[in-house]
Structures are given as C-alpha cells and as structure tokens.
Amino acid sequence: MSDPAGHDIIREMLALGALDALSPAERAELDRHLATCAECTRELAALRDAAASIGQSLPPRPMPAERQAALRARLRGRALEDRAGVTPIRANPSAPARPTVARWLAAAALIIAVGAIAYDVRLRATIQQLSVARAELRDSTSALERRVADQKAILDGLTGPGVRVMDAGATNARQPYGRMFWDQPTNRWTFVAYNLPPAASGHTYQLWLVTRDQKKVSAGTFTPSDSGSALVRATYALAPDSLAAIAVTNEPAGGSAQPTTTPFLVGAAGKSE
C-alpha cells in the first residue's frame, strides 16, 4: 500500500460500508481501494456476513451495560478527536470524507450486535453441554440407586430376623444343591441353587412351595447359568406353619400349573420357630 494514512481512513469506513451507509463518492473511493487491497476486502466480507446474520439470529442476550457504554464512549471520543484535530486548508472533493459521529455510532451498533450474537451462541452451547451432563449424571445415579435397592432387598431376604432357611438336596447322583430363604414378615422367598445340570431341551426348571395339605404352589420358573447356579425371588403370602417342603421339577417350557415330573430337589420345611 503506497498511502498508509489513506488505508487507515478506508479501514474506518469498512463498518459503514457493510451497513450500506456510505455516500456515492465514499462508495466509489472504497471500491477503488478494495480493488488493490485483499486485506480490506476480506474484512468487509466478514462484516457483511455478520450484519446479514443479525436478522436471522434468535434474539441475542444483551451485552453487559458497562461494556456497551465503554465501547460507545471510546468510538465517540475517537470520532470527536478526528474532527477537532484537523484544520482544513482547502476543500478537496477527491479526498474521502471522515466518518461523522452518527456514522461512528452506526458502526458501534453493528459491533455491539455482532458481539451480542457471539456471546449468546457461546452461552447457549454451554447451557446445552451442562444439560446433557446433568441428564447423564441423573441416569447414572438412578441406575446405581436401583442396583443398591436390589442388593439390599436380597440381603434383607437372606439375613432378616424372620427368615427361615430350608436346604434342598438332590434325589439323584448329580448332586445339585439348593437353599430357600423365607422372609416370613414380608412374605419374600429367595432361592439359590448350585451345580444344576442344563434343563432338557424344550423344558425349564420350576420351583414349588408344597403345603401341609399337599397343595403345590408355583414360585416361578428359572434357567441356571452356565456354571449351574441360579437365583429365584418370589413373593407369596403363606401362613408360617402351613409349609411342608420346597421342590424343583423339570417342566415344559413356560412352566406347568402343577408338577408333571418327579422332583429332583426336595427340601423339608421343618418346624416353624
């Protein structure tokens, strides 16, 4: 650039050019400068993009009042200094006019609006990130609370003061083993078993409560793990002295209304304490 002072004047006009607030003479002078200055061309394009986006954006959050006041005061002071510090010797119609105070304020309004939009976009992005993090934390906390509640319910069903324990031994040579925990105050039943062979194809294991009058009450079906262990939980109200035994049978898939095979695990209830 051969005229740094003229370049500085043109740069001061860019914001007004982005707002289409230049006179025809100023517009012509700006176009002549842009034809040889890539830097100002890029800056004018950026200012025009920012100005165009203002009408398409959501209402921005206001810039803090102290920042607006400081920016306006700085631009107003600079414009007044430009006017007070120059003593015209003769009119020069070909020289570009210095921006007036009103035009400085128009440029300031553009800068403030662009800054407010950027501030609002950053704030909205931060709020969105915080909302996602809060939702993930809430889901993790809920899952942990459910797991703790399940573990506590199992422990209560095994160790409560009103729990009766019944062992169920095998009736064949495979030697599976089971134990029933009956929490009588809450009517909760917890059955654990070990060394169970896989159920026959198309069949499932079914747990029974056998009353003293030989009524068989289903406490649910289950499938053992690969290691042969199983955990069954059920809730069924039964009088403390009415249980005679527990039993496990091998039933068709889906279970049966009454046992259809000979039990291979049987445990006597014993006397109620």
Q: How confident is the model at residue 235 (pLDDT cuts 50, 70, 90)?
A: very high
pLDDT beyond 60 at 121: yes
pLDDT of residue 159: 67
pLDDT confidence of residue 234: 92
* pTM given for the model: 0.42
Tokens of 235: 């809730």
Q: What percent of the chain has pLDDT over 90?
A: 24
Q: How far is CA 11 from CA 28, 34, 42, 48, 155, in A?
A: 14, 10, 11, 14, 77
Whole-number Cα distances in Å, 43 to 48, 102, 173, 265: 9, 22, 90, 86
Residue 260 — φ and ψ, nearest 5°?
A: -115, -5
**Which domains, ranges and CATH numbers included, belong to the chain?**
4-85+96-128 (no CATH), 163-268 (2.60.40)
- In eight-state DSSP terms, residue 164 is E
Does residue 174 carry a pLDDT above 60?
A: no
Between CA 263 and CA 273 the distance in angstroms is 26
DSSP string, 180-201: EEEETTTTEEEEEEESPPPPPT
Q: Say how far apart CA 11 and CA 256 lie, in whole Å.
A: 89
Q: What percent of the chain clears pLDDT 70, i.e. is strictly above it?
A: 64
Burial 240-252 (b: 16+ CB within 10 A, else e): eeebbbbbbbbbe
Cα Rg of the chain, angstroms: 43
Helix (H, G, I), strand (E, B) or coil at 246: strand
Ramachandran area for residue 195 (φ above 0: left; ψ -120 to 50: alpha; else beta): left
Q: Is the dihedral of CA 35, 37, 38, 42 positive or negative?
A: negative
Rounded distance, CA 154 to CA 116, Å?
Answer: 57
Highest mean pLDDT among 43-52, 222-231, 264-273: 222-231
Which helix (H) or strand (E) segment holds residue 166: the answer is strand 163-170
pLDDT bucket at 137, cuts 50 / 70 / 90 = confident
